[in-house]
Amino acid sequence: MDWPTVGLSLASSIVVALSNYIGSRRIEAQKARQTKELQEMQNTFSTGATSHMAMVAFDKHICFCEAYGKEVSKALQSLAHEATSEEPLDVGSLSRIRRDWALWLTNEIDSWLEQYERRITQLGGEAPSYDAEGDRVRNDSGVKTAIAFLRGVLHTEELTTLRNDLISSSSRRTPPIG
């Protein structure tokens, strides 16, 4: 073997080793950045989700949803019992509940509920439907649509899914008793 070949072989080995070293350092640095970002996100989420303000806001949201849902239910039940009414539904009580809880509502939810209240008033003034005997009956599709829309605005489905996911995740991590 001659010296130029040895030198070239040695230089190639050094370049490959140096490239591997630099590449592994970059990978380690990237992993460290990702780990740090993940930890920061988890810390932010944990602090935000478990803070007193977050818990109060969540509790207030639930209280509002219960009060508003109860009033919607009453309004829709009265509408169903008064199948012969051609009068539009009065939603003044819904607007009052929304105003009472305005501090705890986002602008988006408030805006959607305002639209909801305008739309729901139209349920009472719908064109009448009649059964085979000629008696007036309610078309329940409008009521079902109103409830589905309300669930969407109040994020009921998302909150229920989140709760189910947390329970499922927790039960997988908890060792069996006994």
Biggest alpha carbon–alpha carbon distance for the chain: 110
Cα 108 from Cα 110, distance rounded (Å): 5
The reported pLDDT for the residue numbered 152 is: 87
Q: What angle do CA 31, 40, 26 make, to 5 degrees?
A: 15
Cα 43 from Cα 35, distance rounded (Å): 12
Model's pTM, two decimal places? 0.59
- Residue 175 pLDDT level (bands cut at 50, 70, 90): low
Q: What angle do CA 26, 32, 35 make, to 5 degrees?
A: 140
The answer to whether residues 143 and 79 touch, using CB atoms and an 8 Å cutoff, is: yes
**Each residue's pLDDT tens digit, 9-67:** 888 888 888 888 898 899 999 999 998 988 888 877 777 667 888 888 889 999 999 99
**Each residue's pLDDT tens digit, 146-168:** 788 888 888 888 888 887 887 88
Cα 75 from Cα 91, distance rounded (Å): 8
**Each residue's pLDDT tens digit, 120-135:** 777 655 545 555 566 6
Q: Distance of alpha carbon 77 from its chain centroid, rounded?
A: 28
Cα 55 from Cα 63, distance rounded (Å): 12
Give the pairing type, strands 136-137 and 129-130.
antiparallel
